[in-house]
Structure 1
Amino acid sequence: MKRMILSIVVVFFVSVSFAQDVATQNKYKVKGDLIEAILYHSNGEIAQTGFYTKDNKLQGEWFSYDVNGDKTAVAYYENGNKVGTWKFFIGDIIKEVTYTNAAIAKITTMEIKNTQVVSNK
């Protein structure tokens, strides 16, 4: 009887451990000429989402999130090169970094002060 209970406990813990590993595995899916990626933090929250080219270069819009699931950045790539205006979210601060020829061309910092929504009904 003790062996049977011990076996059930071992199977339970192994299955719980395996379920957590599966939940945090990165996911990749081919979509046309691109590979969609969903990358996870060790706690199961999404860390990044975006696309790769088939020759493993970052492509298009990428989103980054912290371990609590809050968005921390929006980035843009073209064939592995940094392009466009990236946004970084740090508390009440938004930093915009604009890239030209894969180099930083401009940095803008904004602070979110009042987020009230007013309706004129």
Structure 2
Amino acid sequence: MKKLILLLVICITTSVVYSQKDREQKLNKETNLIEVTEYHDNGLVSQEGTFNLEGELHGEWVSYNDQGEKISRGSYLNGQRTGIWYFWLGDSVKEVEYSKNAIASIDGVKNKNRLVDNH
């Protein structure tokens, strides 16, 4: 059940990422990263993050639902999820650790079999 809920949260987050219409972006000359803010149809921020110059997700990304509540936060390294990501669902928060763009552990429990491979 825990795996199913987490998979649902990841799917929702992914659908939020790809369903945006309005976007602002600018090049930060100090970091050489493209800073991006995307908006929901209601004008609230949907997600914020950065891309490298190759167009890959790179750096911290934060996603929000259409009511402005944070639903996920994590980092990318050259297009791959890395490190600890946080997913909020109601009053609970799940920590998911990524290694090589795959889930390595959930809330500290090591995963020998990959739940999700995002290649």
TM-score (norm 1): 0.68
Q: Using the alignment, how far apart are the partners of 1:95 and 1:46 within structure 2?
A: 22
Specify the code of the residue in structure 1 equivalent to 2:89: I
2:22/2:40 contact within 8 Å kept: no
Aligned-pair identity (%): 40
Q: Which residue type is aligned with residue 101 of structure 2?
A: A
Q: Could you tell me how far apart the structure 1 residues matched to 2:93 and 2:46 are?
A: 19
- Equivalenced residue count is 86
Counterpart Cα distance in 1 of 2:77 and 2:96: 16
Q: How many angstroms does 1:25 deviate by?
A: 3.1
Runs of 4+ residues over 4 Å off in structure 1: none
Match of 1:83 in 2: 82
1:75, CA displacement in angstroms?
A: 1.5
Query: Radius of gyration: which is bigger?
Result: 1
- How many Å separate the matches in 1 of 2:75 and 2:33? 15
Equivalences for 1:39-58 in 2 at 5 Å?
A: 39-58=38-57
Paired position in structure 1 for 2:93? 94
CA distance in structure 2 between the aligned counterparts of 1:100 and 1:55, rounded to whole angstroms: 21
Where structure 2 has 5 or more consecutive residues not aligned to the other structure, the ranges are: 1-20, 109-119
TM-superposed deviation, 1:26:
1.1
Distance 2:22 2:72 in 1: 21
Shift of 1:46: 0.3
* Residue 100 of structure 1: how far off its partner (Å): 1.2
Give TM-score scaled by structure 2 length.
0.69
